[in-house]
A and B are shown apart, each in its own frame.
Chain A
Amino acid sequence: MFRLRNASAGRQVLITAIILTIVTATGFFITDFVGYRVIALLLLMTVSLIAMAFDIGAVIFSCVVSAFTWNYFFIPPTFTFHISNTQDTLLFLFYFMIAILHGVFAFQLRRAERKVRDKEDKERTIALYNTLLNSLSHELRTPLATIMGSVDTLKTNAHVKQSSAANMLLEEIDIATVRLNHHVQNLLDLSRIESGMIKPNLNWCDISDLISAIKLNFPFELQQRITFTTASNLPLVRIDSGILEQAILNLIQNAFSHNSDKCLVTVHIHHENNNLIFRVCDTGNGIPSDFTPFLFDKFSRAQPQKAGGLGLGMSIAKGFVTAHLGTIQLVANSDMGCCFEVNIPAEASYVNQLSHE
């Protein structure tokens, strides 16, 4: 129905003509049993159905054409536009009027309905935009406020400079800048993804390099909570390790930021049928099932009221994976944790004997 509605005006008229031909042909066979006046009702019903789906042009077209077909094929004398008795002339005129009124009303009703729907959509977008703006300003302004406040205190209060409070304030500035840097990185990544500018730069890579690169993004305590396992004799693979580092990194960060301090993450990597497969699993609380459809939407968060995130991590992960022509999906989700599988098409090389030796 939706596809029909979006069809061009010419195509709508064509479809209308086909429908009317079929109805007319059917009517032609049953007219002897039911009488030509019933056929008028049949055609009228067809016009109503067309008015529910199509634009005004096709509706008017169906009214006019159906009226004249009825006249030509069914009103005696058949196969002429001539109508012999007054009753039929009146019927024909009524048919014409009812069909036009009916079609126009149905069309207007639909248009009003669409207007309401558009308005609702707009309101929803505005609401979404407001939440987004709120969380964005909160996430960006909180660290900025920390930095400004700390710097002001350090600048104006001479006695603070020597005290241990100074170190504490410097520490706060440090934490705030790291947080700010993380958000800026996320927003930049998002705009890079949205612009479609990311083209994978394929190069032969050793997976253990990728693993250590991912690990180095985390402080020592968090590194202890990540376990990487790989299939034995994993080949060299042709990938863009920068893009994949960002994708997997975001998955792991997401697991840590949404679960308790006890949450552990395991990443298993193997290569099969020219695909590099990452399985990222955590021991957290899982993802609320009503949230899973929106998991990869940007700025969507499972717990929007909780501070500390823009809701970009998963959409960035997906964006990077897609840029690498891969797929990402949630493959397991329970209150014991969840698993994501990332599938990347990647050529493999088992070079062991080297020609230069």
Chain B
Amino acid sequence: MNKGRILVIDDEPQMRKLLTVILEEQGYDVTTADTGKFGIATAHSIHPDLIILDVGLPDQNGIEVLRALKAWYSRPILMLTVVDSENTIVEALDSGAADYLCKPFRAAELLARMRASLRINDVAPKNRILQFGDLRIDPNTMEVFLAEQPIKLTATEYKLLLFMCEHEGRALTHQYILKSVWGYGHTEDTQYLRVFIGTLRKKIERDPHQPQHIVTLNGIGYRFQ
């Protein structure tokens, strides 16, 4: 069973070995590279379905490698980092990384992030009904149901919810959400985003104080699940 080809770019041999074991166990085909330069060359030749890229590489900054890859590579790139500095993470996500994980991480977490990142690149049939637990969204009729009860949403709330659902499981920065839902002129309006997320949570979450669907990534953005 081959679930896809994964390229791991990390300078730590132990990390490469560990990721190879975890991923091969899951049926992925794994190739590894120990430097940014070699990683980019390998990506060119094997066209992996997903790249796992470490932020701290010996030859060049992982973010630079990410930007170089993003110039032509359209499949998801998952960043690994040891610094849980929000700025680095936001920079990586805004430069096109599909998601991030802070070392040390759990294998299950890594696999879940990979699945979510791979899913977004699948060509999903447009206007299919989206279902998340007891939350259902029908893009054809623009109706939203929670436990079969219809919910009234304003136009912007609906747009925001649909956008987040379409990017299920992925880390979305404030800037990215604002740009995609409100447009380029509103990337600094995080204040509005907070208010909208707040009202949206009141409508779609069972307990708005313990959200199950719209999870906050402190200082970074949100993740819909």
Contact = CB atoms under 8 A, between A and B. Distances in A.
* B is a partner of A: yes
B218 A351 contact: no
B140 interface: no
A58 B182 CA distance: 74
Interface in B127-181: 154, 156, 174
Interface stretch (A156-164, A210-218, A280-288, A306-314): A210-218
B191 A208 contact: no
Interface centre among A181, A210, A241, A242 (most CB of B within 10 A): A242
B106 to A, nearest CB: 10
B219 A242 contact: yes
B191 A204 contact: yes
A351 B199 CA distance: 12
Contact residue range for chain A? Answer: 20 to 34
Given A245-B218, A356-B156, A349 B191 contact: yes
A354 interface: yes
Contacts of B191: 204, 236, 349, 351
B190 to A, nearest CB: 5
Contact of A351 (B86, B174, B192): B192
Contacts of B16: none
Nearest to A240: B219
A161 to B, nearest CB: 17
Nearest to A205: B194
A240 B86 CA distance: 10
A269 to B, nearest CB: 12
Interface in B185-207: 186, 190-192, 194-198
Interface in A191-216: 201, 203-206, 208-213, 215
A211 B194 contact: no
A51 B198 CA distance: 71
Interface in B43-87: 86-87
B96 interface: no
B219 A356 contact: no
Interface string B77-109: 000000000110000000000000000100000
B99 to A, nearest CB: 18
A236 to B, nearest CB: 5
A351 B87 CA distance: 26
A93 B113 CA distance: 92
Interface stretch (B6-14, B22-30, B209-217): B209-217
B216 A209 contact: yes
A221 interface: no
B225 to A, nearest CB: 13
A352 interface: yes
Contact of B218 (A181, A215, A241, A349): A241
A206 B218 contact: no
A352 B154 contact: no
Given A213-B218, A352-B195, A354-B196, 17 more contacts: A181-B104, A201-B219, A203-B190, A206-B198, A208-B198, A208-B209, A209-B194, A209-B218, A228-B209, A236-B195, A240-B219, A242-B218, A351-B191, A354-B156, A356-B182, A356-B186, A357-B154
Interface of A: 177, 181, 201, 203-206, 208-213, 215, 228, 236, 240-242, 245, 349, 351-352, 354, 356-357
